[in-house]
Homo-oligomer: A and B are copies of this chain.
């Protein structure tokens, strides 16, 4: 059985993340979605809220997924958990350059762990958690950027602030 890991902040989950998650079924039999604990500071949503978003929006493929938190280098998490494929999305040239740096470092630290890239679908390549938060901050319509469940949570959050 091939297990892959998709690490990130997911603050919040977007249609971009969902695209990568669903397309990962072509690469592995099980996908670990790993939420970085260190992204807690300065985050909009708590770790638990982000976990809930993923579980709710992916309930139809729940047997394919494990959602976890992690607090180490991704490659060290992989070694400890017998995972050898990291999955990442690329949306732009600057994403490519950033991901290349991390992939080169990871290969140096753990040559047996492979990083595999999917290119974001072109219709959604402009979506990022950052763009979602910026748009929401100015009361923009974010229904094309995130699932309904997430946009409801964002609206609640900005009402509180």
Cα–Cα, bound, A72→B109 (Å)? 38
Encoded as 1 (CB less than 8 Å from any B CB) or 0, chain A from 111 to 134 comes to 000111111011101101001000
Given A114-B118, A116-B27, A118-B116, the answer on whether A96 and B90 have CB atoms closer than 8 Å is yes
A27 partner residues in chain B, CB cutoff 8 A: 2, 27, 85, 114, 116
Query: Looking across the interface, which residue of chain B has its beta carbon closest to that of A128?
Result: B101
Pairwise interchain contact B97-A92, C-beta atoms closer than 8 A: yes
Contact residue range for chain A? 35 or more
CB of A93 closer than 8 Å to a CB of B: yes
Residue among A23, A104, A121 with the highest chain B CB neighbour number at 10 A: A104
Pairwise interchain contact A138-B101, C-beta atoms closer than 8 A: no
A121 partner residues in chain B, CB cutoff 8 A: 107
